[in-house]
Amino acid sequence: MTKKLIAGNWKMNGNLADNAALMGAVVAGLPSAEALEAAQVSVLVCVPAPYLAQVAALRGPVDLGAQDVSPQKGGAYTGEVSPAMLKDFGTRFVIVGHSERRQNHFETNELVALKAQNSLAHGLTPIVCVGETLAQREAGETEAVVKRQLAAVIHVNGHCLTELVVAYEPVWAIGTGKTATPEQAQAVHAVIRTQLQAASSNAKRIPILYGGSMNASNAAALLAQPDIDGGLIGGAALKAADFLQIVAAAQAVA
Ligand code: PEP
């Protein structure tokens, strides 16, 4: 069992005033950094890049993450953000391969692997998202799809594997209010753990998060599963009370 990681993904939401209110309420409602450490729980928010500096100044015991990164180091790549730029603001984590980027920006497994590699090369921990669509689940392809997505990352980054976080996010559960049952999620997490174990002797230390409509009501049951090491939370991370309840659920099971 690793430390539990509760990560909010704000997606393209927020503004200066709302971010200040949300972070103020989250930080005020969290236990101290020492209490979180004693409970073996880490809390993270992955915010839109323009707000990294703002949230860095408000974060208290909350870690800072970004939602995407360039596979390039720098140069003539208009619109891209490099890992070094993210690091300048104290960013420690970055989501790569979120299904919204795979779908809307046609990101391939190979590109996601290169983004993970570039992150690792600059001391950022990539949160690699994997997960099947509803059609793939119904066709019995869940395991194959998830393994293929992760295999690309393992192939490129094998030697750095302990610095990864993996997030299993069934596409059909993201933002839909439909959640994988704890048993469905655990079954895929076990597959991911086995795949990581084949690639790294430290696989037990790689957090595997569940994401997909995790909320204050279902978090405890999901987080109680043996291979679910935390959550990647979209909608519920925008409401301080809900996010804090998920953190409390993680404390209770950690
Ligand atoms: C996500 O954006 O990664 C996510 C899991 O969203 P939601 O919690 O809203 O389903």
Task: Give me the domain span that covers residue 76.
Answer: 4-253
Angle, to 10 degrees, between the axis of helix 109-121 and the axis of helix 142-157? 40
pLDDT at 250 (0 to 100): 97
187: left (phi over 0), alpha (psi -120 to 50) or beta: alpha
Digit-coded pLDDT (tens) for 91-133: 999 999 999 999 999 999 999 999 999 999 999 999 999 999 9
169 in catalytic set: yes
pLDDT at 161 (0 to 100): 83
Digit-coded pLDDT (tens) for 36-49: 999 999 999 999 99
Pocket probe mutation, ligand 1, options 128, 214, 239, 246, max atoms within 8 Å of Cβ: 214
pLDDT at 144 (0 to 100): 98
- What does the pLDDT average to over 20-34? 97
Let me know: does 170 contact 212? Beta carbons within 8 Å.
Answer: yes
Distance from the CA of 54 to the center of ligand 1, in angstroms? 23
- The count of structural domains within the chain is 1
CATH number, residue 46: 3.20.20.70
Distance from the CA of 76 to the center of ligand 1, in angstroms? 32
pLDDT confidence of 86, banded at 50, 70, 90?
A: very high
pTM higher than the cut 0.85: yes
Buried b / exposed e across 2-41, counting CB within 10 Å, b at 16+? bbbbbbbbbbeebeeeebbebbeebeeebbeeeebeebeb
| Distance between CA atoms of residues 75 and 231, nearest Å | 34
Digit-coded pLDDT (tens) for 211-244: 999 999 999 999 999 999 999 999 999 999 999 9
| Distance between CA atoms of residues 65 and 49, nearest Å | 9
Is the model's pLDDT at 164 over the cut of 90?
Answer: yes
Let me know: does 65 contact 7? Beta carbons within 8 Å.
Answer: yes
Average pLDDT value for the chain:
96
Which tokens belong to 2?
């690793």
